[in-house]
Amino acid sequence: MYFGDEPLTGIINRIGTRVDGHGPWPRFTTTSGGWRTLIETLSGNAWSLLGLWGEPAAVHAAVREDLSGEVAVVSLDCPDGKFLSMGHVRPGAIRLERAIQDLYGLKAEKSVDARPWLDHDAWGVTHPLGAQPGKPRHAPRPYPVLPMEGEGLHQIPVGPVHAGIIEPGHFRFTANGETVVRLEERLGYVHKGIEGLMRGKRVEEAAKLAARVSGDSTVAHSLAFARAVEAAMGIVVPPRAVWLRALMAELERIANHLGDIGAVCNDAAFAFMLAELSQLREAVLRACDAVFGHRLMMDRVVPGGVAVDIAEHDPARLLGLVEELRRRFPPLVAVYENKASLQDRTVTTGCVSAQLVKRFAAGGFVGRAAGRGLDARRSPAYPPYDDLEFEVPVLTDGDVNARVWIRIKEVEQSLGLVEQIVKRMPGVPRNERGETPLPRVPAEGTAGEGMALVEGFRGEILTWVRVNADGTVDRCHPRDPSWFQWPLLEAAIEGNIVADFPLCNKSFNCSYSGHDL
């Protein structure tokens, strides 16, 4: 089945040569002419750009044909340190290209924005991951913000240190009176060099870094890394581990959504909801702590399986949590729905159009609140979700209210998933004497390349990895969903008042750490 003139694999087979040892989707190498054809195809609407990442002398693009769900990676060797930019057809690629330029020294030709992105001239080295890391610059380069001209315009610089307890980044507002004319983001402040730190580490050690790409999505990022490594090395995970992973992923989704729904209301000056929902979030985290031994379940998903199993009495505890949330959450949803003062702030605020969401391939509640109904749990799908019943809520308004509602509905869906998983999980739980073996196999296998798409609470995480024969990581790239959501925040705030920015920002809740790496 295919849509359009030619299916994805048809076009890519024509422009590229298939590389062996890449799973579960194929990877092709292409020439600069083939890269040009790829960009031409991406100017249409049939494909999504899932990711774009570099290596010392090559760039890789992951693409998906949205209707058929076919996924492939296209690679271009860059012997002369250059590749053609795809930013003019896929604006979501612009920041990824700037990051490749900063980290690997590969230049995106004909780029619409050639300014540095992650490199703030503070590392003491230039293109640190490139074939030949360069000498540091004598003085930091100036960073010109995009020019704005017009009568009565003024700028408001915010950050990197913000007023709340949030991550650092710089926002430059250009406003006319109260109305925001343009927002420009500058990120990269929390760049920790994760991709560089992963190189040469054993997969078990690299998994710890993957778990700390973005702390709120630690389960989802660990899962994406583990699945990519398992695809690369040909590891088959015990069925019980697959279900335990999904259990943790859904608990993480519920905890984050509960906290963020409350925080959005709090940013609309309605503290009651935060006070109530933060108690529900705490109930989830305490259950996670009791069952998995860590409130955020960090380092619990590992390549080869899981690091901890639940005990015999834990299913009852988790079902009790589901029951408690089903009792306490709906009355709060009713408060949100019926408070005119709250609706006044969230409805028609911070709109993102369906076209932009599609062009940027934004996932998660940002995409699903504006008509892009993709969910990695459904397409390309991964176990055990093909065996579970759930709905993927989609709305079309694209405003703060729609994003809140998507999250409310996802909490309800995830509660159902937790219930199904707990009731139907295969295998034997940990007994009190601890003699039941963990559902985990050694992270050993062949050298290879693997990719994974995993639905975190924010949206689709892509992780690509190449593992050496000795079980060390040669190259890993975790692409957080925030890469394709941050630029849309700039669009969402346009025409809104400055005072609504915290509300819009919280309704997106993009990750700084996951983006800056």
Partner 1 sequence: MFKHILKHVTGGPVTEAAPAASEAALKELAGKVDAAARKRLGRSLSIREVDAGSCNACELEIHALNNPIYDLERFGIRFVASPRHADVLLVTGPVAKNMAEALKRTWDATPDPKWVVACGDCAIDGGVFRDGYACTGGVDAVVPVDLRIPGCPPRPAELLAGLLALLETSAK
Catalog residues that contact partner 1 under the rule CB under 8 A: 118, 120, 122-125, 128, 160-161, 163-168, 188-194, 196-197, 208-209, 212-216, 218, 259, 272, 275-276, 278-279, 281-282, 285, 289, 295-296, 298, 331, 335, 339, 511-513, 516
Smaller CB distance to partner 1: residue 106 or 356?
A: 106
Smallest separation, CB 491 to partner 1 (Å)? 24
> Are the beta carbons of 83 and 61 closer than 8 angstroms?
no
Smaller CB distance to partner 1: residue 187 or 237?
A: 187
Smallest separation, CB 272 to partner 1 (Å)? 7
Smallest separation, CB 476 to partner 1 (Å)? 14
Enclosing H/E stretch for 172: strand 170-176
Residue 168 preceded by cis peptide, ω within 30: no
Place of tokens 């991964």: 382
Burial of 245 (0-12, 13-18, 19+ CB in 10 A): buried
- In the three-class reduction of DSSP (H, G, I as helix; E, B as strand; rest coil), residue 292 is classed as helix
> d(Cα 376, Cα 372) in Å, to the nearest integer?
12
DSSP, res 151: T
Smallest separation, CB 170 to partner 1 (Å)? 9
Query: In 3D, which of 95, 103, 20 has the Cα closest to residue 56?
Result: 103
> d(Cα 331, Cα 430) in Å, to the nearest integer?
36
Smallest separation, CB 161 to partner 1 (Å)? 5
Q: Which residues are within 8 A (CB) of 6 and not within 5 positions of it... i.e. 6 or more apart?
A: none
Smaller CB distance to partner 1: residue 118 or 395?
A: 118
> d(Cα 510, Cα 517) in Å, to the nearest integer?
13
Smallest separation, CB 266 to partner 1 (Å)? 10
Smaller CB distance to partner 1: residue 178 or 337?
A: 337
State the pairing for strand pair 305-306/448-455: unpaired
Rounded to an integer, what is the distance from CA 489 to the centroid of its chain? 15
Smaller CB distance to partner 1: residue 161 or 269?
A: 161
Smaller CB distance to partner 1: residue 285 or 352?
A: 285
> d(Cα 286, Cα 301) in Å, to the nearest integer?
18
Smaller CB distance to partner 1: residue 76 or 209?
A: 209
Smallest separation, CB 332 to partner 1 (Å)? 8
Smallest separation, CB 253 to partner 1 (Å)? 14
> Are the beta carbons of 441 and 304 closer than 8 angstroms?
yes
Place of tokens 């963020």: 260
Smaller CB distance to partner 1: residue 122 or 269?
A: 122
Longest dimension (CA), the chain: 75
CA-based R_g, the chain, Å: 23
Query: In 3D, which of 261, 284, 282 has the Cα closest to residue 273?
Result: 261
Smallest separation, CB 358 to partner 1 (Å)? 28
